[in-house]
Amino acid sequence: MRISLLLIFLIALCPSFAQNYKVKGGLSSVDTAELTILNIYPDSFPNVSVVFRAERRTGEPVWGLTKEKMKVKENGTICTVVSVAPISEHKPISLGIVIDHSGSMSAEGMQYFLGVTNGVDAPINNAKKAVKKFVAGFNSTKDKVCIVGFSDTVDKPLPLSQDVSLINAVVDSMHAENSTALYDAMMEGIAQITGEGSLRVLIVLTDGMDNSSRSLPDDVIQRARKEDIPIYIIGLGIVNSDTLQYIANNTRGQYFYTRSSSSLSDIYALISKRLQAYYDLVYTSGNISMADPTRVVELSFDVDSLYISAKPDTMQLPAEVIAHMQQKEKQKEYMLYGGGAVAALAGLGVLLFFFVRRKKEKPVILKLYPNPSTGLVNVEYEPAEGSLLVCDISGYLALEQPVSGEKTQVDLSHLADGEYITWL
């Protein structure tokens, strides 16, 4: 059973969060910046969500981007931008933090090989402080963190958690010992955040060269790319920077290097800042042909005569979307015959919705996915209490469900195949 919802809604742009940082506002013509497309989600097709990163070459996020400043092309055709919002403001972030606590983390550089250690300033202690400070900077009510420690083997991981005290306790329990199974630990970190429906990022700290893993760098890259997980890597001291850079570049992440563990807090702070450069853009595809399931998406913005374009990326329409489009092709003659009535009903719904909204300030549905669906549908909306209504094309009420908060899940499996209208 496949059910398509015709979602009638208004999009309210999320306010910029630039005021929380020293660097404010958008780009000027003297700036240089870059865009990186990270993920493309066509689950709510024809609405498509694109997660991208916008930052200056200095690493500072580009704030204040709005839909008026953004341009999207799909297969060379300009599309309508529905909304642009910073991810960190509303969407959950799943962080996989991988920490090297091999023997070399007991002392800086050559001091380790000379057997000279200083427990107070040992890299492992500086790493613990930096990680705990990094975790404290995130919103524990929506973001989750998993911890994967490693030496010659991978520790039992702490699964994704919002318990900051528990996260800190796991970090504090690490001791510097044994060899380095870096690639195995990275594979475990990816596995821990795979399947989450949020922005997922892996952050890795290592101070040595892998000498104990079964996995290879290309294994890590292949798995991370399959799961759309960027990897941020911090290399400390004597490391194979070429390999670490290779992994970061090929997973759309970034690589940082420092000789001294005293710089770790600054690097983690920079990574935290760069995660604020992530945006979620929603656009409407004008191409509903099932003969073209693979699309090339181009993203750009134009601010104060400065034009920045991201490297084009591709998306593959989900099987459910393609099947729905095939069904629509079969119904084409019927839809053409009955199109007048359908358009009239849909128009009435729009008029009624806007009238009710002006009069009673009804909340707005922000997102609905997956659409079409075989049953369960997630609905995100402005904070509200009331009822979610689902009507068929003829205007008959098919489902009414009480809602509160900011999101809910609706089971449509008992409804007949077809198109439905929903609103709050």
Reply yes or no on whether the pLDDT at 306 is more than 70: no
Residue 218 half-sphere exposure toward CB, CA atoms < 13 A = 0
One-letter amino acid of 407: K
pTM of the model: 0.59
Question: Is 52 exposed, middle or buried (CB count within 10 Å of its CB: 0-12, 13-18, 19+)?
Answer: buried
Q: How confident is the model at residue 296 (pLDDT cuts 50, 70, 90)?
A: confident
Cis amide prior to 363 (ω within 30 degrees): no
Question: What tokens appear for 172 in the block?
Answer: 């504090």
Tell me, which fold does domain 11-83+279-316 have in CATH? Immunoglobulin-like (2.60.40)
pLDDT tens-digit readout, 62-111: 777 888 888 898 888 899 999 888 876 667 889 999 999 998 888 665 45
pLDDT tens-digit readout, 57-75: 766 777 778 888 888 988 8
- Mean per-residue pLDDT, 17-31: 30
pLDDT at 195: 80
pLDDT tens-digit readout, 124-179: 999 999 999 999 988 888 899 999 999 999 999 999 999 999 999 999 999 998 89
DSSP assignments along 82-146, one per residue: EEEEEHHHHS-EEEEEEEE-SGGGGS-HHHHHHT---GGG-HHHHHHHHHHHHHHTS-TTT-EEE
- Class at the top of the CATH hierarchy for domain 331-423: mainly beta
pLDDT at 366: 73
Buried b or exposed e, range 88-111, using 16+ CB within 10 angstroms: beebbbbbbbbbbbbbbbbbbbeb
Q: Which residue has the higher pLDDT, 199 or 366?
A: 199
Q: Do the two domains 11-83+279-316 and 331-423 of this chain adopt the same fold? A: yes
pLDDT at 302: 65
Q: How confident is the model at residue 336 (pLDDT cuts 50, 70, 90)?
A: very low
| Helix and strand totals (H; E) in the chain | 10, 21
Rounded CA gap, 294 and 312, in Å? 13
Tell me, which fold does domain 90-275 have in CATH? Rossmann fold (3.40.50)
Q: Is 225 helix (H, G, I), strand (E, B) or coil?
A: helix
Where in the chain are the domains? 11-83+279-316, 90-275, 331-423
Question: What tokens appear for 390 in the block?
Answer: 């689902």
Percent helix, strand and coil across the chain, each rounded to 5?
30, 35, 35
Q: Are strands 397-403 and 386-392 parallel, antiparallel or unpaired?
A: antiparallel
